[in-house]
Chain A
Amino acid sequence: MFQSTRIGLILALLTAFSVSGCLRSSHEIKTQSEIKPIEIKPIHITIDINVKVDKALDDFFGDIDESTSK
């Protein structure tokens, strides 16, 4: 009688562990679906860019300065 109760308790614990394992794996699947790439509908954006003095432009005109000073 006591032995059958102990076996029943072990079986109940094993069942609980297996159920918690299932729950955990289902949670992982949900996380994966959240970071799946999505298709984004057409959008309209406006941006303002304030350009500071461009070094490349100085270099470009440096060539002309050199050629005219010769």
Chain B
Amino acid sequence: MPDLPKLASDGNQLLAFRNLEFGKFAIRSGGLRFRMESPTSWHLENVTMNWCDGKLKLDSTRINPENKRTSLIFYCDRLRLSALLQQLGAGLDQGEGRISGAIPVVFSDAGLRFRDAFLFSTPGETGSIKLLPSKSISATAAASEQLSFALDALADFDYSWVKLSLNSEKDLLKIKLQTDGRPAGKLYYIPKDGTLVRSEVANDFTGLELDANLNIPLNNTLQLYQNFKQLFSPQ
């Protein structure tokens, strides 16, 4: 029995949980099926979690806890956009509208990096966004009427489609939000000389196609990785 000292498990081992909450993030339930090939090689057969009234899945993959670089691809299946925005601390959990797509991520000592993640709304299904921007974004918006308009429009926005992409580039996390729809209410803005300016009366915007590019410093995502690493490392 040459392999007797080596530890290994059978396949299809189940690790399940009912509720996992940290900060604003809440995963309602989930299950992980795995096989320990050796203490340094774990085969994750599949992972499914109930998140934002949809599913977050991870396909079969092999991980080594001693590796300094791990690549994973998470699949989001019909997550409710408003619930996702609320958990990210950027919106209110109101209204329907779901998004799906893949989020490839790389965990390393350089932090958590996104590799061309792309989420999109369900074709033929409309929804709504009720964005609640952070104080720092609101303060930035005060200096720009165009940005103020975009935030006011997204505070209550009915969309026909939405696309969301995430990509890490150098020391920035780049998030691109593209949507087409119309503000639910009238807005105190008017187009003038190719830009938007504030108006004394509220006007009805019949259509708005919006591309919003957000650049977030990498030190936030580095902190994200370090905290997760701390959370799962043996004490």
Enumerate chain A interface residues (CB-CB to B < 8 A).
35-58, 60-61, 63-65, 67-68
Interface status of B217 (Cβ within 8 A of chain A): yes
Given known A-B contacts A43-B191, A54-B134, A49 and B140 have beta carbons under 8 A apart: yes
Interface status of B117 (Cβ within 8 A of chain A): no
B136 near A47: Cβ-Cβ < 8 Å = no
Q: Which A residues are CB-close (under 8 A) to B223?
A: 57-58, 61
Enumerate chain B interface residues (CB-CB to A < 8 A).
22-24, 89, 134-137, 140, 144, 146-147, 149-150, 186, 190-191, 196, 200-217, 219-220, 223-224, 227, 230-231, 235
Q: Which A residues are CB-close (under 8 A) to B205?
A: 40, 43
Number of A-B residue pairs, CB cutoff 8 Å, is: 110
Q: How far is the CB of A55 from chain B (nearest CB, A)?
A: 8
A53 near B217: Cβ-Cβ < 8 Å = yes
Given known A-B contacts A38-B190, A51-B217, A53-B220, A45 and B89 have beta carbons under 8 A apart: no
A35 near B220: Cβ-Cβ < 8 Å = no
B208 near A51: Cβ-Cβ < 8 Å = no
Q: Which B residues are CB-close (under 8 A) to A64?
A: 22-23, 227, 230-231
Can you report 21 A-B residue pairs in the complex whose CB atoms are below 8 A from each other?
A44-B209, A45-B150, A45-B208, A45-B211, A47-B144, A47-B147, A47-B150, A47-B210, A47-B211, A48-B213, A48-B215, A53-B219, A53-B220, A55-B135, A56-B89, A60-B23, A61-B224, A61-B227, A64-B22, A64-B230, A67-B231
